[in-house]
Amino acid sequence: MTVSTVGARAPRLTLRRRRQLAGALFALPAVALVVGLIAVPIGQAIYYSFTQWNGLTSTWIGPSTWTQAFHNPNLWTALENNAWLLLAVPFALGLPLLIAMLLHQRVIGWKIFRSIYFLPTAISWVVLGLVAERFFAFQGTLNSLLHFFGLSHVNTNMLGYESTALSALGITFVFTMIGTNTMLFLTGLATLDTSLEEAARIDGAGRWRIFRHITLPHLSRFIQLAFVMTVIALFSALFSLIFVMTGGGPGYATTTMEFLIYQTGFAQGDFGTAALYGLILFVLTAIVGIVQLRLIGSDE
């Protein structure tokens, strides 16, 4: 790359242009990867959502594929399951907030406790799903606990019944999110100016008031981020748990949108409808994503 310098001002201009060229070239591989493997497939999904498609040949059907899809009860069951699972979100945020507050008191050994609390975060949700299955199983820990507390006549089998399987999945989801969210909140608490709390305490403010008026507002950005991450995980990261724990059943009791896409595409071979379901999931997460972008954007 040799640049001939003609006049006194020429090199400056070329330097600027060279920098831009270098920038574009440096960004190119990342752009290519994201365009080729994320952007193009979104476009394809839109096209294929209007076709009958088995992965090899596709026939154009038109918008009627969409009206047909919305008449499919399985889609509504999956959306309904996703909606019910949203009830787990307050717990997936509240419990970690409580745990972070406890850790923040810095009792003896809090650093060890912190490491222990975060440890499950490293484990695959496949493994956590396997363990959860043992917990909820007929001869599992839950029944042992119930018997221990004198409820020997109670025998649960939460994963075995349509009425309770989704709750079991939700409980497992809350457990899997505790580490990450606690980590977020603890980081937030660490940036809190303790002199503020101290001043409020001297002024006679009770614990609840300090929490409500000082701690909580300070944590709001962290809570927003945790909320967005939790909801996105709920929509797109349950696959491992469902695959291992229930396979979407009993019936369609634990089939969420993401699992319905997998089932429709790979169990039924209906690629077109699966692509269409994918777009619905895409819209759902995009709504949450816009919230997150606002959070990041408001920083600059």
Q: Applying CB under 8 A, does 235 fall inside the site for another protein?
A: yes
Rounded least distance, CB 24 to another protein, Å:
4
Task: Evaluate the omega torsion of the peptide bond into residue 250 and state whether it is cis, within 30 degrees of 0.
Answer: yes
Selected from 178, 214, 231, 253, the binder of another protein by CB under 8 A is 178
Tell me which of 75, 179, 189, 227 binds another protein, using CB under 8 A. Answer: 179
Residue with tokens 């019944």: 161
List the one residue from 7, 38, 149, 194 that touches another protein (CB under 8 A): 38
* Residue 187 contacts another protein per CB under 8 A: yes
Residue 167 or 180 having the CB closest to another protein: 180
Q: Which residues between 14 and 33 bind another protein (CB under 8 A)?
A: 18-27, 29-31, 33
Distance (Å, rounded) from C-alpha 284 to C-alpha 88?
Answer: 17
292 near another protein (CB under 8 A): yes
| Nearest CA among 89, 88, 124, 84 for reference residue 254 | 84
Residues 142-161 binding another protein (CB under 8 A) are none
Among 152, 247, 268, 294, binds another protein (CB under 8 A): 247
Least Å from the CB of residue 245 to another protein: 9
How many residues bind another protein, per CB under 8 A? 101
CA distance from start to end of the chain: 36
Pick from 103, 169, 174, 231 the residue near another protein by CB under 8 A: 103
Are the C-beta atoms of 217 and 68 separated by less than 8 Å?
no
Answer yes or no whether residue 192 interacts with another protein by CB under 8 A. Answer: no
Q: How far is the CB of 97 from another protein (least distance, A)?
A: 13
Site for another protein in 257-286 (CB under 8 A): 257-258, 261-262, 265-266, 271, 274-275, 278-279, 281-282, 285-286
Give yes or no for residue 41 binding another protein (CB under 8 A).
yes
- Binding another protein by CB under 8 A: which of 126, 151, 154, 267? 126
> Residues 104 to 123: which contact another protein by CB under 8 A?
105, 107-110, 113, 115-123
CB of 144 to another protein, least distance (A): 10
